[in-house]
Structure 1
Amino acid sequence: MSHDQNFKNLILDYPREALEFFAADEAAKIDASARILPLRQEQLKERLGDRFHELDVPLLVEWPDDKREALLFILEEESDPRRFSIHRLAHYCLHLAEMLNTERVVPVVIFLRDGAVPDRLELGGDRHTYLSFRYLACHLPRLDWQEYRDSQNLTARLNLPNMHYAPERRVEVYAHAVRGLFELEPDPEKQIKYIDFIDIYTALEPDELERYCQEYSEDVQKMSSFAKRHLEQGRQEGMQQGMQQGEARILLRQMERKFGKVSVEVRQRINQADESTLLEWSERILTANSPEEVLH
């Protein structure tokens, strides 16, 4: 699993929401007129080399008519705090500031797991400090999920599973994350994309998925209705194959969450089924006790 890529996708798909959530202190002054642009990774790799290629997602915030000087945000996701190097981050920020000829740089580190990390770097001698560096830190496990459970910021809602919560509330956390996705993201393709994100970071056990289906049956029905609308839209647009694949992915994910890893034969049947059959099986999984009951 590539946590780096998951968060890069999230930040690139929702740059404004990401800055408002991960870098709230600095993002407060980014008004609606500002344009947020990702810097091209190819250009950075060519200019700075491979050693920084997986470090960051740089976002350049520009204002029209030079109302304000552009501001560069550098966002890094760190899965394991033990791997975090403040020296490497400082080195990268200095290189990028020189390359873009700017001193307006905001480094942001998103910690996916909790742990002790240095919060500043100071270089100097006995009498003076000659370089002082710090960064904005977003420690996801230290955030109380209940403070964000009804947030209108989609990035926050998608990250509910990465926040602090009691294990017995995992199903509730999952439900609020999924509900936020379907309330705040109208694009069906991104809905499918980020239901995977929620699944990965919630990692419901089969019994928890069953509880979700029982306790949040209305939401499950909405998801089924969404799948049906998505398939109908795809059919109208000549995208039947792509929509069938999307529905098959959803069903396979539900099957594996509820019953564990499915057999090759079950996977083949699902991948080869047509849209109407997949919809029927998606409804049947709510009450079935085995993969065979779903596909009979």
Structure 2
Amino acid sequence: MTENQVDHDRLFKELLETFFAEFMELFFPEAARSIDLTQIRFLQQEIFTDVTAGDRHKVDILVETSLKGQPGLILVHIEPQSYVQKNFNERMFVYFSRLYEKYRRKILPVAVFGYDRIRDEPDSFGITFPFLDVLNFRFYKLELKKLDWREYIHSDNPVAAALLSKMGFRPEERVRVKLEFLRMLARMKLDPARMELLAVFFETYLKLNREEEEQLYRELGKMDKKEVDAIMQITTSWYEKGRVEGRAEGRAEGRAEGRAEGRAEGRVEGKIEAKREVICKYLARRFGVDSASVQDKVQQLTDMDALDRVLEQLFAANSLEEARNIIWEELSRFTQ
């Protein structure tokens, strides 16, 4: 997916609507302590027309909530900005004005700058004369590229995990950032849908190339076995989900009703194939071309439990010979 094809607004909208409370608590803790984050409602997308410029602008994220201990409702307007735009601070004021005109409520404006460069974006817009300050409009701003990703890796906040991919890191740190993202996911133990949302967001902005993937697997081989097992369960589930959905979709086309048993069998086959693929990919990246004969043996494993046991033990293997023995032991169970 190219930069032009990425729907930045949709990605940020899904992330922040799913984890709105976590976002506010992480980046704007003072506001989060005053806002009732247990009672929130996302309002319909607002579209404004700029007659003079001939443009139509939309407000993607608009949250209705209240302040703790105070009567009345407030609005939180979050504006993700993925590209540099001249006079963006003025645009924030125009949005604020239009929203206030419609709702007549207190509005907390927040701008999230996610483009891949470091700038000093203003967080205010003013109109002043030598004799009178007419307007001093301010808003919260979050410039992701200015954040040090290392400061967030020990957090169990899902927004922090996803946004690691947009923070400030050097090119040579890409593998480490991906590794820490996986470790965060393993600690948080979210439900599959939320896990997938975070993974899609992260990999849209930080997708490793083949060489970096090989480096990632080498780093996994050096880590604690229990932690690696947790990470591999996550990555295996992604493989399984894609494989199972693809197979299920293919079987659904042109098949008559009454073949539920065949489809179930196909899904099991998809899971087994996915696990074999993960094992072979790890062997190739850990031990190189010398592991080809061992990978051939993996293809002979057709039992789900056996594959699970291999995955559990494989990351403790310090040599190709140890890995071969682990797989041979499982094969021997079915030939005795």
- What is the TM-score with the length of structure 2 in the denominator? 0.66
1:37 corresponds to which of 32, 35, 41 = 41
Q: Tell me the equivalent position of 1:154.
A: 158
Give the letter for the 2:80 counterpart: E
Question: Which is greater in Rg?
Answer: 2
Secondary structure at 2:156 match in 1: coil
1:84 offset after TM fit, Å?
A: 5.8
Q: Tell me the equivalent position of 1:178.
A: 182
2:15 corresponds to which of 10, 13, 25 = 10
Unmatched segments (≥5 aa) in structure 1: 233-240, 249-270
Calculate the aligned-residue CA RMSD, in Å: 3.3
CA distance in 2, matches of 1:172, 1:83: 34
Secondary structure at 1:40 match in 2: coil
Q: Tell me the equivalent position of 1:286.
A: 282
Q: Tell me the equivalent position of 1:62.
A: 66
1:15 offset after TM fit, Å?
A: 1.0
Alignment of 1:167 with 2:171, yes or no, is yes
CA distance in 1, matches of 2:238, 2:171: 33
2:202 corresponds to which of 198, 202, 208 = 198
Superposed CA deviations along residues 5-25 of structure 1, whole A, max 9, x for unmatched, are 111110011110112234334
Superposed CA deviations along residues 92-140 of structure 1, whole A, max 9, x for unmatched, are 11111221121x2111111113223333211133311212112111111
Give the letter for the 1:74 counterpart: H
- Structure 1, 76-85 or 1-10: larger mean CA deviation: 76-85
Q: 1:106 to 1:69 in 2, by over 3 A?
A: same
CA distance in 2, matches of 1:26, 1:246: 44
Superposed CA deviations along residues 247-291 of structure 1, whole A, max 9, x for unmatched, are 99xxxxxxxxxxxxxxxxxxxxxx9x722112211221123379x
CA distance in 1, matches of 2:273, 2:192: 20
Q: Tell me the equivalent position of 2:82.
A: 79
Q: Work out whether residues 74 and 107 of structure 1, in 8 Å CA contact, stay in contact via their aligned partners in 2.
A: yes
Q: 1:92 to 1:31 in 2, by over 3 A?
A: closer
- Structure 1, 7-16 or 170-179: larger mean CA deviation: 170-179
Q: Work out whether residues 170 and 204 of structure 1, in 8 Å CA contact, stay in contact via their aligned partners in 2.
A: yes
CA distance in 2, matches of 1:61, 1:15: 12
Q: 1:176 to 1:224 in 2, by over 3 A?
A: closer
Provide the aligned length of Structure 1 versus Structure 2: 255
1:30 offset after TM fit, Å?
A: 2.9
2:109 corresponds to which of 107, 110, 126 = 107
Q: Tell me the equivalent position of 1:225.
A: 233
Aligned-residue sequence identity (percent) comes to 25
Q: Work out whether residues 22 and 108 of structure 1, in 8 Å CA contact, stay in contact via their aligned partners in 2.
A: no
Secondary structure at 1:35 match in 2: coil
1:149 offset after TM fit, Å?
A: 1.1
Q: 1:61 to 1:244 in 2, by over 3 A?
A: same
Give the letter for the 1:275 counterpart: K
Unmatched segments (≥5 aa) in structure 2: 1-5, 50-54, 249-266, 300-336
1:243 offset after TM fit, Å?
A: 7.0
1:230 offset after TM fit, Å?
A: 8.3
Q: Work out whether residues 149 and 168 of structure 2, in 8 Å CA contact, stay in contact via their aligned partners in 1.
A: yes
CA distance in 2, matches of 1:224, 1:89: 43
Q: Tell me the equivalent position of 2:245.
A: 245
Q: Work out whether residues 17 and 154 of structure 1, in 8 Å CA contact, stay in contact via their aligned partners in 2.
A: yes
1:170 offset after TM fit, Å?
A: 2.0
CA distance in 2, matches of 1:227, 1:121: 46
Superposed CA deviations along residues 231-255 of structure 1, whole A, max 9, x for unmatched, are 99xxxxxxxx88712899xxxxxxx
CA distance in 2, matches of 1:85, 1:144: 24
Secondary structure at 1:286 match in 2: helix
